[in-house]
Amino acid sequence: MKTNSLIVEIDGIDKEILRDLMEDARKPILQIANKIGISGAAIHQRLRKLEQSGVISGSKFTVNHKILGYNTMAFVGIYLDKAARNPEAVRDLKKIPEVLECHYTTGNWSILIKIICRDNQHLMHLLNTKIQAIEGVSRTETFISLDQQIDRQIQL
């Protein structure tokens, strides 16, 4: 018996639908329906349930940074003088548009962020004038991504 599980279980048909839409959010529903062998309305019913249960958290167009002139991606480990300053630091990091991800991590740093910059000079400027300027930040360690070789979602 499964009651009140926080974990949602999905069946093979749900997986097929999601796999298609995770690859292309605008893929026609009827195309998926024909491939699977059920009606379009059935797919819609399932999608509504997946949304209600929270399995689907949204859909996004993805944009190619490099073509827009953003060539330098980097990870920055941030040391805070007191770990308790985390909420204020995150609040300030949210205001920096170049910050794409921010994680509260175990290990040496208090915070690990992923940032996207036009070039190395832009990165240096960000580090020196924005990130190091945040109250409580004592030191940072930067790792530039020379090449992103894998970029994908969870596999169903």
Partner DNA sequence: ACTGAAAGGTCTAAATG
Partner DNA sequence: CATTTAGACCTTTCAGT
Residues that bind DNA (CB under 7 A): 13, 26-31, 37-42, 44-46, 48
* Residues in 18-57 that interact with a second copy by CB under 8 A: 18, 21-26, 53-57
Closest CA to 89 of 124, 123, 113: 113
Per DSSP, the three-state class of 73 is strand
In this structure, the number of other CB atoms found within 10 A of the CB of residue 33 comes to 17
Query: Which of DNA, a second copy, none does 107 bind, CB closer than 5 to 8 A by kind?
Result: a second copy
Residue 58 beta carbon to DNA: minimum distance, rounded to whole angstroms: 14
- CB of 71 vs DNA, minimal distance in Å: 24
Question: CB of residue 13 vs DNA: minimum separation in angstroms?
Answer: 5
Angstrom distance (rounded) from CA 143 to CA 78:
12
Cα–Cα distance for residue pair 11/96, rounded to 1 Å: 40
Enclosing H/E stretch for 34: helix 29-36
Q: Which residues bind a second copy (CB under 8 A)?
A: 6-8, 10, 18, 21-26, 53-65, 67-70, 73, 75, 90, 93-94, 97, 99-109, 112-113, 116, 141-156
